[in-house]
Amino acid sequence: MSAILSIRGLRKSYATGVEALKSVDLDINRGEIFALLGPNGAGKTTMINIACGIVTPTEGEVLVDGRNWQTDYRHARTRIGLVPQELSTDAFESVWNTVSFSRGLFGKPRDAGKIETLLKRLSLWDKRKSEMRFLSGGMKRRVMIAKALSHEPDILFLDEPTAGVDVELRRDMWDIVRDLRRDGTTIILTTHYIEEAEEMADRVGVISKGQLIAIDEKKALMAKMGRKTLKITLSDPVEAVPAGLEEWNLVLEDDGHQLCYAFDSNAERTGIASLMRRLSELHIGYKDLSTRQSSLEDIFVQLVHAPEKAA
């Protein structure tokens, strides 16, 4: 798949001495939903702001469809829409005016029909005459999306799109994002709601301390880094992991009622069959078995915090 956006050797050091990005390389494929995960201060927003021209990088470049985003800034910026994390709006403007303003600012002629379609699609039509200051946080978030889409960009950056919104609205946002992708828009979203990335993303990148530490297809990442856990619910609780089961590194949980065995589901030998045989040999009875696949959240925590633990 061809890259619609390429980031090459991007580095950003702020005047305060903070190194927000340390030589990041990243390709975003046309038409995908790419989730950029990272803890607060990891460099997600800095990367987006550089790509959108809001922050000046210390080094590196961004290519939009192969064209440099600074020397060919009109081409790049016309293609990109940004929904920032903060709800920054003109409090005294009406919804209609503020969305129309954005369309004009990005070089598109006035088109009442297109604005109407956009506002209806985002369930904002009834609020078109309302001043921004009278809207709820969720509605403001929708207006921010409408503003970003008003010039019909084919790359959309969503910086923490569901931060601080309720569950229902979050689901609505996800539907909107899926609709946009269906229409061919490439979406790059940053989030620290791992559930959001797990739900929507085609590919996932994990950024920590200014460095991309993992990037892959979501399913591949989960298969590669994910582990499964076998939970054995015992017939009778035990006080410690029974002798003779050392080689499986079992963990005792639920006040001695459950033995947990973490295994690699992709390995040729998972060790489950031998474990079950040994339990039988030791006359340890069990009444239930279940497995659990580690989530993207587990992988994220493992990626971001493993180096800290190792240190």
Residues of this chain that interact with other proteins (CB under 8 A) are 14, 49, 52-56, 73-78, 80, 82, 84, 86, 88-92, 97, 100-110, 147
Nearer to other proteins by Cβ, of 154 and 198: the residue is 154
Q: How far is the CB of 143 from other proteins (least distance, A)?
A: 12
Nearer to other proteins by Cβ, of 108 and 192: the residue is 108
Q: What is the dihedral of CA 107, 111, 117, 120, to 10 degrees?
A: 90
**What's the one-letter identity of residue 94?**
S
Nearer to other proteins by Cβ, of 104 and 244: the residue is 104
**What's the one-letter identity of residue 246?**
E
Estimate the crossing angle of helix 95-105 against helix 137-149, to 10 degrees: 30
- Tell me the three state secondary structure of residue 218: helix
Tell me the chain's radius of gyration from C-alpha atoms.
24
Q: How many Å from the N-terminal Cα to the C-terminal Cα in the chain?
A: 38
Contact 28, 186 (CB under 8 A): yes
Residues 6+ apart with CB under 8 A from 7: 24, 25, 26, 27, 47, 51, 60, 61, 62
Q: How far is the CB of 302 from other proteins (least distance, A)?
A: 32
Q: How far is the CB of 76 from other proteins (least distance, A)?
A: 8
Strand partners, 82: 157
Nearer to other proteins by Cβ, of 79 and 203: the residue is 79
Q: How far is the CB of 105 from other proteins (least distance, A)?
A: 5
Nearer to other proteins by Cβ, of 1 and 18: the residue is 18
Q: How far is the CB of 234 from other proteins (least distance, A)?
A: 57
- Tell me the three state secondary structure of residue 214: strand
Q: How far is the CB of 55 from other proteins (least distance, A)?
A: 5
N residues, the chain: 311
Nearer to other proteins by Cβ, of 76 and 204: the residue is 76
Nearer to other proteins by Cβ, of 86 and 236: the residue is 86
Nearest CA-CA partner of 289 in 266, 261, 265, 311:
261
Residues 6+ apart with CB under 8 A from 306: none
Order of strands, sheet of 251-253, starting from the edge strand that comes earlier in the sequence: 251-253, 258-263, 228-234, 286-293
Q: How far is the CB of 86 from other proteins (least distance, A)?
A: 6
Q: How far is the CB of 64 from other proteins (least distance, A)?
A: 11
Strand partners, 154: none
Nearer to other proteins by Cβ, of 21 and 230: the residue is 21
Quote the CA–CA distance of 218 and 107 in Å, as a whole number.
Answer: 36
